[in-house]
Structure 1
Amino acid sequence: MSKRFLWAALVGALAVTAIAGSSTAMTGKTDGSNAAQVLKMSIGSEPPSLDPGLATDTTSSNIILNIMDPLVKLGKPPALNAVPAAAASWKIRGAVVTLNLRKSVRWTNGQPVTAKDYVYGWLRTISPELGADYAYQFEGIKGAKEYTACDPKKADCNALRARVGVKAVGKYTLRVTLVSPQPWFIQQISHHSFLPQHKATIDRYGSKWTEPQNIVTNGPFKLASWKHDASITLVKNTKWRNAKSVKLIRVEHQIIVDATTAENAFSAKNIDVQTTGVASVNIPKWKKTRYWKTFKALGTYYYGFNTKNIPDANQRRAMAISIDRSQIVKYITKSGQIPAKGFTPIGIAGGPSILSQSTMPATAQLSKAKAALAKARNPKRSIRLYHNNAPNHVKIATAVQNFWKQLGLDVTIRPMEWKQYLQFLGPPPNADVDVYRLGWIYDFPDAYNGLVLWKCDSGNNNTNWCNRKFDSLIDKATRTPNTAKRIALYKQAENILTGPQGQLPIMPIYYYAFNMLQRENVKGFVENPTGQWDLAKVSIR
């Protein structure tokens, strides 16, 4: 989620993690006889953007994908196979993918959604003018990378735009030409970046087009209200193509940043589903109740280095292997997380092979860490560690501060509000950043989706690290349809990151698990491994 840091939902969707935003007072109680089919739930942050071209976090993505109708949805785990949605069917011939759109899909203003709406939306997202972080998602499409990189002072960007391999070959037929056959592409287009966009609305309202009074969407719900930093309310779109199957008539998202506040709201029956997070001290208590829900996740919680400030890989290794990951998941997160061996999640296709030479230890290796630090030239002893402001991030940062103190490092912890934090990290990151905290929830179940973050030109690479060999391996993987051969390339790339001689621009800490509190009368509310929930399948009984 989709998606970058999430949040970057990444973080707001995690049970042990509450991310920045402002809490709001709860009104109205829920009970087991909610015949009105109104779902009240908490989310852990204000969505930074509801623009499919600009959203980079799972909080935003979850709202967007419930007010929009993606081409495909991901099916049940672990396979997460593509299931037809706005696309009724598709045909793949080599590097050419033809998508047949449903004629029943309409915008909320009554207009039909056509192939041209996808062409416009995709080209807008990858345009050099928009500067979208997720433009790289489209690099598998012929000509997309060149168009995104276009400098209008040096090249004819319109000509490059015309050569991008996405065309409307009929009112309801979209043809995509890839740079090579890519087995994951159909799953990839479940991501919110690949949604259609309503050109007339964007032209008319500009940056304000996502406000409730302006927005035009095409999904099972409509954006009824957005009280920034307080709440978001969705209502059923009775004109949606499959509206008869949707039970909920309204979904009220209360933005509650503090885990304890969200827990209290749940206990008081003011909300039905609590996704903000649970304070770590309260996790054992909630685990014993019928309300505690756990879902498998594809994602990694990690710390990143600003490699301009900490340029020596020996120091980076020393700091990475001095962290006791087992203590963090046992005593802080306490809800199903697993110490990370490398960046790629163990549960992804080919994960065990990709990670077979990764070197992040579950328990601290202090003597090896001190030896590595001794090899570093002019090691940086005063470290500024940034994280977004949430209780468990603070606790983890404090633990890491203590681990690094044993190396003789003086660590200053600097928390920030989520939206400001994302801006502060760039890329490139603010020069004051030495180490930062982020997480990545996979958008589709292929290791490419995580490894591509660390390419030199990635909009999600906040490390200032650039390795051309790594880039070439990822680029080669996009041209390698054979799964076994592609996994071998991923293994080489992972080794450059976290292997025995890895450069360690990042320190993976643990693999995520999704947890939430949910009332028994809420049916169908599940979180898939990419951090998404489908409100069209939820009901109150």
Structure 2
Amino acid sequence: MDARFFRALLCGAILSFGCTKKEKEPLELKIHHPKVDIKLDPHAMEDAYSMMINSQLYRGLFRYNPTGDVLVDLVDTWTESADRTSYKFKLKPATFSNGDRITAKNVQLSFARLFLVGAAIGADIDYIKGAKTFAKTKNLNDLGIKVISDDEVEFMLSFPSVLFIKHMAVSDCAIFNLKSLSNPKELPDGFSGPYKLESSENNRLKLTKWRKDPFDSINPPEKIIFFGSSENPVELAMKDETDTLDNDPVSSKDQAALEAKSWGAVPTVLTSETYIVLNPKYVDLAARKYLASKVSSEDLIREVAHPIFKPAYGFIPKGFPGEMEKSDVNPVEKTSYSGKSISFKLDYDPDVELEVKIIKYLTRVWTHDKISITLNPMSKAEKLRRLFGKISESVVARKGMDYPDGISVLTYFRANYDANYFHISDPAVDKKIDEAMREFDTQKRISLYKETQNLALRHHTTIPLMFGTDASGLWSQKVKRIPSHPMGYHTMLFETIEMRAD
């Protein structure tokens, strides 16, 4: 995304919330999330909530700031070879939360583990030399990550990639206190992030700030409580049991009531896309093609009648290189359906007003004598479980970006990729993704991004609906300032939040 866009958001959206006189409270944040299976392992996380929590506990060599720029984190200095296939990183003096020093060996073993356990990011960075061979042999000598000294490590690439440093900044590339790979499924004690896990019980995680960070706000949260709940988020907020509704839709009436309690809002999840996923086990290609031809993003947005939403023709969000205009998309022929009679269930969350409107639109435009659709309402947690398990017959889904580059969306379409819940396995898609990752010319890379999207769209397993979100971006009166986070609060580093200390 254009950095100027991010900076405009940042400068215009760090709000100073109102304050009511009350007794001094501890600098503690309470953050609710759906009752999903939180994975306290950056190499195993599947959902945004696990990413949000892991991002506070673990850190990597680099990090993103709110404008989308890459900054050093555990790295002090670094150099690259003339051909961009070798990078040497000098580490800052730093320790894990248990006092152990962070060394180059920890870096090597952390990335080795990533390939051994099949972390999602592994599909993005398999251009690290020997990555595929190492995943089979488990021999560190086969992996192009070498320890030079206790505080210096070298990464060797099979080919130069414009995305390498960006990939090093994602939360998946966390550094662990590993001494060996004898039991890669388990993580040892010690956290590399500024927060450590103090307790974990009954869907409730308590994190404590244990070290200062260069990007600390004046008063960062000292403790963060993450808890799973099936209760209505607004009711939690009204009872002061959560300090944010950042990712939750809130009615204008409820927002007014919360603002009367001195809650305030900032822009959030502007890169989120809503789409339909059709499982080919239940909906064949002829039916998928017909259903896709009946959907008009523009008509749907007119019915939703909310200015925040923009038409979606592809998968890369508005403002990012590779975004699709209507003219970029290979047209779907307006076709009739004369295939066999089919029936399938459509999963959605009835508590989300936007999804209810989408369902109303789809059931109208998809009316057909040979197509029977059963509406299948369920909680957000159950919907995510079915989506990630690839067992939904069809589902209203949404996804943001993992990091500020369109490739972070496209790699989810790779074949044999565990996190590919779009039901696409196409060598042509994989080839275009590989070409894009090697391409340093911006215009050529944009063309490859668009070609990849058209190749994915031809399968009609995913129907883009709209970009934008109905999430409120609301935070409680305990918070003084929140950095803008247009990719969502799951990408935000919580030490940058400024708590109200008065």
Same fold per TM (> 0.5)? yes
How many residue pairs match? The answer is 473
The answer as to whether partners of 2:217 and 2:496 remain within 8 angstroms in 1 is no
SS of the equivalent of 2:454 reads helix
Structure-2 change in CA distance of 1:111 and 1:86 (3 Å)? same
Matched, 1:137 2:124: yes
State the alpha-carbon separation in 2 of the partners of residues 539 and 134 from structure 1.
Answer: 31
Matched residue, 2:474: 517
Matched, 1:497 2:440: no
Structure-2 change in CA distance of 1:244 and 1:317 (3 Å)? closer
State the alpha-carbon separation in 2 of the partners of residues 193 and 48 from structure 1.
Answer: 15
The answer as to whether partners of 2:282 and 2:344 remain within 8 angstroms in 1 is no
The answer as to whether partners of 1:180 and 1:478 remain within 8 angstroms in 2 is no
The answer as to whether partners of 2:345 and 2:374 remain within 8 angstroms in 1 is yes
Give the counterpart of 2:107 among 118, 128, 139: 118
The answer as to whether partners of 2:218 and 2:498 remain within 8 angstroms in 1 is no
TM-score, normalised with respect to structure 1: 0.77
**Residue range with higher mean Cα deviation, 198-207 or 528-537:** 198-207
CA deviation vs aligned residue, 1:159-209 (integer Å, no higher than 9, x gap): 4x53222222221222212232222221222212211122359968955x5
The answer as to whether partners of 2:162 and 2:438 remain within 8 angstroms in 1 is no
SS of the equivalent of 2:329 reads coil
In the TM superposition, residue 356 of structure 1 has moved relative to its aligned partner by 4.2
Structure-2 change in CA distance of 1:344 and 1:125 (3 Å)? same
Matched residue, 1:316: 288
Matched residue, 2:424: 465
**Residue range with higher mean Cα deviation, 34-43 or 234-243:** 234-243
The answer as to whether partners of 1:303 and 1:509 remain within 8 angstroms in 2 is yes
Matched residue, 2:16: none
The answer as to whether partners of 1:303 and 1:438 remain within 8 angstroms in 2 is yes
State the alpha-carbon separation in 1 of the partners of residues 305 and 201 from structure 2.
Answer: 31
CA deviation vs aligned residue, 1:312-338 (integer Å, no higher than 9, x gap): 2x4323212423545655666947232
Matched residue, 1:410: 372
The answer as to whether partners of 2:34 and 2:381 remain within 8 angstroms in 1 is no
CA deviation vs aligned residue, 1:275-322 (integer Å, no higher than 9, x gap): 35134575775798762332353332222222243332x432321242
Partner letter of residue 220 of structure 2? K
TM-score, normalised with respect to structure 2: 0.82
Q: How does 1:274-423 map to 2 (within 5 A)?
A: 274-279=245-250, 285=256, 291-295=264-268, 297-312=270-285, 314-326=286-298, 329=301, 334=306, 336-352=308-324, 356-358=327-329, 371-374=334-337, 378-387=339-348, 391-392=352-353, 395=356, 398-399=359-360, 401-408=362-369, 409-415=371-377
Matched residue, 1:18: none
In the TM superposition, residue 484 of structure 1 has moved relative to its aligned partner by 1.3
In the TM superposition, residue 54 of structure 1 has moved relative to its aligned partner by 0.4
Give the counterpart of 1:158 among 128, 138, 142: 138
State the alpha-carbon separation in 2 of the partners of residues 90 and 357 from structure 1.
Answer: 39
**Residue range with higher mean Cα deviation, 280-289 or 508-517:** 280-289
Matched residue, 1:224: 198
Matched residue, 1:17: none
Matched residue, 2:58: 68
Structure-2 change in CA distance of 1:174 and 1:454 (3 Å)? same
The answer as to whether partners of 2:313 and 2:324 remain within 8 angstroms in 1 is no
Q: How does 1:225-264 map to 2 (within 5 A)?
A: 225-229=199-203, 231-238=204-211, 247-258=220-231, 261-264=232-235
State the alpha-carbon separation in 1 of the partners of residues 384 and 133 from structure 2.
Answer: 26
State the alpha-carbon separation in 1 of the partners of residues 144 and 280 from structure 2.
Answer: 36
The answer as to whether partners of 2:424 and 2:459 remain within 8 angstroms in 1 is no
Matched, 1:49 2:20: no
Structure 2 gaps, min length 5:
1-19
Partner letter of residue 132 of structure 1? A
SS of the equivalent of 1:303 reads strand
Matched, 1:529 2:502: no
Partner letter of residue 466 of structure 1? S
Structure-2 change in CA distance of 1:31 and 1:449 (3 Å)? farther
Structure-2 change in CA distance of 1:335 and 1:223 (3 Å)? farther
The answer as to whether partners of 1:95 and 1:180 remain within 8 angstroms in 2 is yes
Matched residue, 2:164: 185
State the alpha-carbon separation in 1 of the partners of residues 64 and 413 from structure 2.
Answer: 25
Matched residue, 1:174: 153
SS of the equivalent of 1:194 reads coil
Structure 1 gaps, min length 5:
1-29, 151-156, 361-367
Partner letter of residue 383 of structure 1? F
The answer as to whether partners of 1:262 and 1:274 remain within 8 angstroms in 2 is yes
Partner letter of residue 373 of structure 2? V
Give the counterpart of 2:30 among 31, 37, 40: 40
The answer as to whether partners of 2:215 and 2:495 remain within 8 angstroms in 1 is no
The answer as to whether partners of 1:525 and 1:535 remain within 8 angstroms in 2 is no
The answer as to whether partners of 1:401 and 1:411 remain within 8 angstroms in 2 is no
The answer as to whether partners of 1:67 and 1:219 remain within 8 angstroms in 2 is yes
Partner letter of residue 265 of structure 2? W
Structure-2 change in CA distance of 1:309 and 1:291 (3 Å)? same
In the TM superposition, residue 70 of structure 1 has moved relative to its aligned partner by 2.6
Matched residue, 1:484: 443
The answer as to whether partners of 1:279 and 1:392 remain within 8 angstroms in 2 is no
Partner letter of residue 91 of structure 1? T
In the TM superposition, residue 521 of structure 1 has moved relative to its aligned partner by 4.8
State the alpha-carbon separation in 2 of the partners of residues 526 and 37 from structure 1.
Answer: 17
In the TM superposition, residue 74 of structure 1 has moved relative to its aligned partner by 1.2
State the alpha-carbon separation in 2 of the partners of residues 203 and 395 from structure 1.
Answer: 49
Structure-2 change in CA distance of 1:489 and 1:203 (3 Å)? same
CA deviation vs aligned residue, 1:442-485 (integer Å, no higher than 9, x gap): 22222221112112222222244322222211111122122111
